[in-house]
Amino acid sequence: MKIWVSAALVLLGSMMSGAVQAQSSELYQQLGERSGIETIVEEMLLGVADDERIAHYFADVDILRLHKLISEQVCNVSGGPCEYTGDSMAVSHNNLGINNADFNALVEHLIAAMEQENVPVAAQNELLALLAPMHQDIVE
């Protein structure tokens, strides 16, 4: 009897943590999980590379590393099971001279990539709201 009760508790516990996890990672799922996020970030970076307003910022940047780090970050802030291993936004954008128009240009490419991947608009806005506080550390 005791064994059954504790087995039931373990089962209940895992169901509950599963429910909590599913709730907190709904955005992550809407972004297409890890592979969807990697595709979105790749498309965003391709758009950026083709955009003469901001491409120059990335001329000497290791794009594969940047792709990995931005993907980790988006995965992490959207509630996915990823750790962000890069520098802080303040450190990595320090002295780059990025202004509001540059920031908005990059966000345009992020939105275009999410559109391309059929991410629902509400989920797009949710991700943008999670990234918005980083603006103060990125723009000078």
Nearer to ligand HEM, 30 or 110 (CB): 110
State yes or no: residue 93 binds ligand HEM (CB under 6 A): yes
Is 56 among the annotated ligand-binding positions? no
Of 54, 111, 114, 127, the one binding ligand HEM by CB under 6 A: 54
Supply the minimum distance, in Å, between the C-beta of residue 90 and ligand HEM: 10
Inter-residue contact 119 to 32 (CB < 8 Å): yes
Nearer to ligand HEM, 7 or 90 (CB): 90
Give the residue at shortest CB distance from ligand HEM: 86
State yes or no: residue 32 binds ligand HEM (CB under 6 A): no
Give contact residues for ligand HEM (rule: CB under 6 A).
54, 57-58, 61, 66, 69-70, 73, 86-87, 92-93, 96, 98, 102-103, 106, 131, 134, 138
